[in-house]
Amino acid sequence: MPRSVPSGYALEFYDSYVDNLTAKSSVGSLITVKKDSTSGPRWTLECASNETLSTISYSINLTKHEQGILSGYDASKIRQNRYIGILGYSIFGYLEPMDQVENLPLILIVQSLPEWSIHLTLPPTTNRIPGQQTYGTVSGIAKNYYHLADTQVFMGPSMNVTYIPISYDELYQQKTKSQLSFDQTLIEQNYIQRSLSFYVVVYTEDTDNLDVDMATNLSVQAMKNLLLYYNNVPFPLYTVAMEMTKPLDDKHSYGISMEHLNSCTINIEYGSGINKNSTKDQIRIFQYNLAHHIQHAWLPKRLFSKFYYPFIFELTPVIDTIWFNEVC
């Protein structure tokens, strides 16, 4: 199980919340599983010479998980009968050396209550109408373990999901940076139309201090600005996910956001969102945070410094990775 996460700066002992770990062979017999004696986040499967590993299963109590992880932005969350928000690296384990393999397609199938909508940040495994809500079961495909670990799953009746197809303009290659202007006339003359499937997922326990429509509009504008700046889009779909939850207690900290390959999780400190009473500076700061974490899908997620990738899920990043990540 991971203890370090892409773009994270500290260890989180996600393996501490793994229970009922079992393994079975292709004929259904149990395979012996032993936890690493050095207290590392590893288990050894003792397969006999005539056995083939077929299934590994385990459970995670998300309530216990959230209570034990004091940095609220590093924890998955569950609210009974309302909402579940899952960070992939907090629940998905791996077999060595699959964490180091660049091309290893993995299919994720998520099942929920039939009446609960599900949003998955992975590309779907089947053709689906963009923006169409899915209920009960959904599946997506990751190109490797890193992609799987860096995905998110959101579900429940209390989340708000908005789909916005963003049409963006790609600069003609003959235009140099010195020739470009953000004058609207020039943009219309020198760009061609493309489209991105863009989603904004919001779960808030303080509707007075987080205006969903405002937050959605700011997210769309931030993405449009970045598409113009980078002049390319390296993902078929992108999700901005926002959570504003009541603190579990005074030991838990909130308010730090996290970037991912196809999404970002914007963790908003309780009571500090934006609404119609927010000042221009408050709105500007809120949108800057959105843009900062969206742009990490380009840097360092797809252009990274030494030691960043292949990512080591058991250790925290070295210092040069941290400064490279945060100068963006």
pLDDT of 129: 82
Please count the residues of the chain: 328
For residue 168, the model assigns a pLDDT of: 65
- Closest Cα partner for 69 from 42, 87, 49, 50? 87
Q: Check residue 21 and give its pLDDT.
A: 97
Determine the pLDDT at residue 175.
43
* pLDDT of 323: 56
When computed from its CA atoms, the radius of gyration of the chain, rounded to whole angstroms, is 21
Please check whether residue 137 is in contact with residue 167, taking contact to mean a CB–CB distance below 8 angstroms: no
DSSP-derived secondary structure letter, 71: B
Quick one: pLDDT at residue 173? 42
Please give the chain's pLDDT, 328 residues, in tens.
999 887 777 889 999 999 999 999 999 999 999 998 777 899 999 999 889 999 999 999 999 999 999 999 999 999 999 999 999 999 999 999 998 898 999 999 999 999 999 999 999 988 778 888 899 999 999 999 999 999 999 999 999 999 999 876 543 343 444 444 444 444 444 444 467 999 999 999 999 999 999 999 999 999 999 988 888 888 889 999 999 999 999 999 999 999 999 999 999 999 999 999 999 999 999 999 999 999 999 988 887 766 677 788 887 766 555 555 665 5
pLDDT number for residue 268: 97
Q: In the prediction, which pLDDT does 328 show?
A: 53
In the structure encoding, which two tokens stand for residue 275, read together?
């609404």
Q: Look at residue 8 in the predicted model and tell me its pLDDT.
A: 78
Query: What is the strand order of the sheet 43-46 is part of?
Result: 43-46, 30-35, 18-25, 53-60
User: Which of 204, 251, 219, 261 shows the shortest CA–CA distance to 77?
Assistant: 204
Give the model confidence (pLDDT) of 102-122 as tens digits.
899 999 999 999 999 999 999
- Beta-sheet strands, E only, within 7-136: 18-25, 30-35, 43-46, 53-60, 77-79, 83-87, 106-111, 117-120, 134-135
Give all domains of the chain, ordered by start, each with its CATH number: 14-321 (2.60.40.3650)
